[in-house]
Amino acid sequence: MLPIMHQTRLDDDELRALYHALLRPRIIEERMLLLLRQGGVSKWFSGIGQEAVSVGTVWALQPQDYVLPMHRNLGVFTTRGVEPARLYRQLLGRVGGFTHGRDRSFHFGSLDDKIVGMISHLGAMLPVACGLGLAARLDERDGVAVAFVGDGATSEGDVHEALNLAAVWKLPVIFLVENNQYGLSTPVSEQYACRALADRAIGYGMPGHEVDGNDVLAVHAAVSAAAERARAGDGPTLVECITFRMRGHEEASGTAYVPDALLAEWADRDPIQRFETELRDRGLLTPTESEDLRRALAEEVRERVDEAVAAPDPVSTQAVELAAVYAAGSSVPDLAVGPTQVRRYVDAIADALRQQMERDPKTLLMGQDIAEYGGVFKVTAGLVDRFGRERVRNTPIIESAALGAAMGLALAGYRPMVEMQFADFITCGFNQIVNNLAKTHYRWGAALPVVIRAPHGGGMGAGPYHSQSVEAWFTHVAGLKVVAPATPTDAKGLLLAAFEDPNPVLFLEHKGLYRTAKEEVPDAIYTVPLGQARTARSGRDVSVITYGVGVVWALDAADVLADEGFEVEVIDLRTLVPWDKEAVLASVRRTSRALVLHEAPQTGGFGGELAATIGQSAFEWLDAPVDRLGALDTPVPFSKALEAIHSPRAQVVDRLRTLLRY
């Protein structure tokens, strides 16, 4: 057992208040466990025996500090003073909770209380803490972010990426490991081989401290010291709190896999009993006072829980639920006037980034090699000289932590952009995009204005891992917007609109267009609204619905068929989520024929959604079956000769001829 080691700076009144705070979550849990047995709550993750970690940590923090708790950290919410009525309704899934019944227990945030709740993917919130810490430093606020993580989740990649990022950037973040000896049923002896998780800290370049997690004053002292270090600008700290989970991972799991002797041993180390003993030794608490407080708290909790139990279940409609997916507010057309100049696609994107950073000091850029090097495609070249390294930030070779940090920055009022070096590498950050960024607004209402730029697409002989068209992986994800511009003018206007949007936006830039597409582009700031298609070419015989490089292919095919007397209409979607159904259906009604075209493999491609909608909603106007054309269902090959076989580009004219002859 670790010795009690603390230097108490708390006076007698503060110690009594701390005892009150330590006891409150225990009383609430006892009530919730009773409700669980009665069927009043469906699931419960108990933190009984671990209260000292949550309460001691929050007691050591200041109101401006962010906390990112986990399953068993009820004491974080109670000690932070989260509104009790709303908290109980959240825990019971009733009307008036933080998530309106859309997520459970502690899977929520309350920015007013500086709490950012967890998702089920363990370790995912540690990168978010990095973003919150960075925001505090950029704002020159005396703020710290504390991220909780269990012993089992320390094996997750997000944890390693976050600790490394925080150390490299010297961020004011405390990583608090709640080592409760088991990851569900797997003991720590089977989870890591180091003596202590705190020993890992030296590998990241930060201090690591092993603390008795059942001693609330030891936790308070360790977190206080780490916070003081962070506020001084000395960077992050890893604090490992050694404690024990006295109940199952969740109640249904039980504890049959835990030796009885071990449970008995840790029951003797109960944090509340230990603190009571210390207070009695100091003459600050009598047994009668302790019992009176327990009874008073139990009655208060019973009344509040009964009120929450009596509250109705959430009631909603499809329209209400759909409206909750995205934060309200997006760009409106902001047409530029004044001079233009010929710009390439890459130049138009760079121009948009520069103008966005000039007009909004809360915009910052992150990515691999984007500063002095300018990114592998030189899109960000020169921006670090103009705006400095605080706003144009090279990251380590990480994707997930950069995206998670962007979420933290957005929660703190910034508009971050993350550049994926290649869209193919976005898989390394998939969880942060689809489960953290995309779902947060629907779950608890936080807006997340994050732009993710991703160079994608083939045609350059770059092989399977630098050529993929990744849009279909993400168009299935509610809460994420997906943009794929085909022209320099749209690339600039859509990117500026993406920065104005209060939701995460995946901005797909086709590598093959960077230096081949060029046209007159306005010098001034303007926006092209997300969700509005454009008619790239008018026609009366057949519609091609496409986006990105497919627009170039469709226009080339239209030129060929024009010599044969056919008029091909080309609809450029520009935005895939949301996509402009009205514009597409109006075109098909005019021409009575439709080809859906994209560069990605055909099976499971976004074209299937387009074709199905056209077939259902424009059936009576069709003179031929809806056709769709995508790439061969193979990875993208390296050889340009083989890639030509893979690509649908050479087939567009013949497919249109077949459709016109039907």
Q: What is the pLDDT of residue 436?
A: 98
Q: What is the pLDDT of residue 336?
A: 72
d(CA 439, CA 121): 13
Q: Which two tokens stand for residue 201?
A: 């800290």
Residues 30-45, buried b or exposed e (16+ Cβ, 10 A)?
A: ebbbebbeeeebeebb
What is the share, in percent, of the chain residues with pLDDT greater than 70? 98
pLDDT digit string (tens) for 274-309? Answer: 999 999 999 999 999 999 999 999 999 999 999 999
pLDDT digit string (tens) for 207-240? Answer: 999 999 999 999 999 999 999 999 999 999 999 9
In this structure, how many other beta carbons lie within 10 angstroms of the beta carbon of residue 330?
19
d(CA 77, CA 51): 11
* Stretch 175-204: mean pLDDT: 94
pLDDT digit string (tens) for 53-68? Answer: 999 999 999 999 999 9
If you classify domain 340-522 with CATH, what class do you get?
alpha beta
d(CA 556, CA 648): 13
Position 148 confidence tier, pLDDT thresholds 50, 70, 90: very high
Position 331 confidence tier, pLDDT thresholds 50, 70, 90: low
Q: Is the pLDDT confidence value at 4 over 50?
A: no
Average predicted confidence (pLDDT) for the chain:
96
Instruction: Determine how β-strand 534-537 pairs with β-strand 568-572.
Output: antiparallel
The answer for residues whose C-beta is within 8 angstroms of residue 619's C-beta and 6 or more apart is: none
The answer for residues whose C-beta is within 8 angstroms of residue 584's C-beta and 6 or more apart is: 533, 543, 545, 571, 573, 610, 613, 614
Instruction: Determine how β-strand 481-483 pairs with β-strand 451-456.
Output: unpaired
d(CA 30, CA 71): 16
Task: Note whether 12-310 and 340-522 share their fold.
Answer: yes
If you classify domain 12-310 with CATH, what class do you get?
alpha beta
Rg (CA), the chain: 28
**Cβ atoms of residues 279 and 285 within 8 Å:** yes
Position 414 confidence tier, pLDDT thresholds 50, 70, 90: very high
Q: What is the pLDDT of residue 125?
A: 97
**Cβ atoms of residues 47 and 74 within 8 Å:** yes
What is the share, in percent, of the chain residues with pLDDT greater than 90? 94
β-strand partners of 363: 415
CATH of domain 534-661: 3.40.50.920
DSSP-derived letter for residue 479 is T
**Cβ atoms of residues 395 and 435 within 8 Å:** no
Burial (CB count <10 Å: 0-12, 13-18, 19+), residue 549: buried
* Stretch 434-440: mean pLDDT: 98
Burial (CB count <10 Å: 0-12, 13-18, 19+), residue 271: buried
* Stretch 57-82: mean pLDDT: 97
Where is 97: in which H helix or E strand? none
- Catalytic annotation present for 466: yes
Q: Which two tokens stand for residue 413?
A: 């009022």
**Cβ atoms of residues 122 and 153 within 8 Å:** yes
Q: What is the pLDDT of residue 7?
A: 55
Terminal alpha carbon distance of the chain: 81
Tell me the angle at which helices 488-500 and 345-359 cross, rounded to the nearest 10 degrees: 30
pLDDT digit string (tens) for 249-268? Answer: 888 888 999 999 999 999 99
Q: What is the pLDDT of residue 561?
A: 98
Q: Is the pLDDT confidence value at 619 over 60?
A: yes
Higher pLDDT, 595 or 183: 595
Q: Which of 466, 510, 598, 646 is catalytic?
A: 466
Instruction: Answer whether the bond into residue 502 is a cis peptide, omega within 30°.
Output: no
Q: What is the pLDDT of residue 3?
A: 38
Q: Is the pLDDT confidence value at 194 over 60?
A: yes
Domain spans of the chain, in order of start:
12-310, 340-522, 534-661
Q: For 372, phi and psi rounded to 5 degrees?
A: -60, -35
Higher pLDDT, 155 or 39: 155
Instruction: Determine how β-strand 340-344 pairs with β-strand 237-242.
Output: unpaired
Q: What is the pLDDT of residue 337?
A: 75
Q: Which two tokens stand for residue 362?
A: 């809360």
Q: Which of 67, 5, 26 is nearest to 213 (CA)?
A: 5
d(CA 13, CA 31): 27
Q: Is the pLDDT confidence value at 481 over 80?
A: yes
**Count of residues for the chain?**
662
DSSP helix/strand/coil, 465: coil
Q: What is the pLDDT of residue 2?
A: 39
Longest CA pairwise span in the chain (Å): 99
pLDDT digit string (tens) for 543-584? Answer: 999 999 999 999 999 999 999 999 999 999 999 999 999 999
Q: What is the pLDDT of residue 471?
A: 98
* Stretch 405-433: mean pLDDT: 98
Q: Which two tokens stand for residue 150?
A: 């269990």
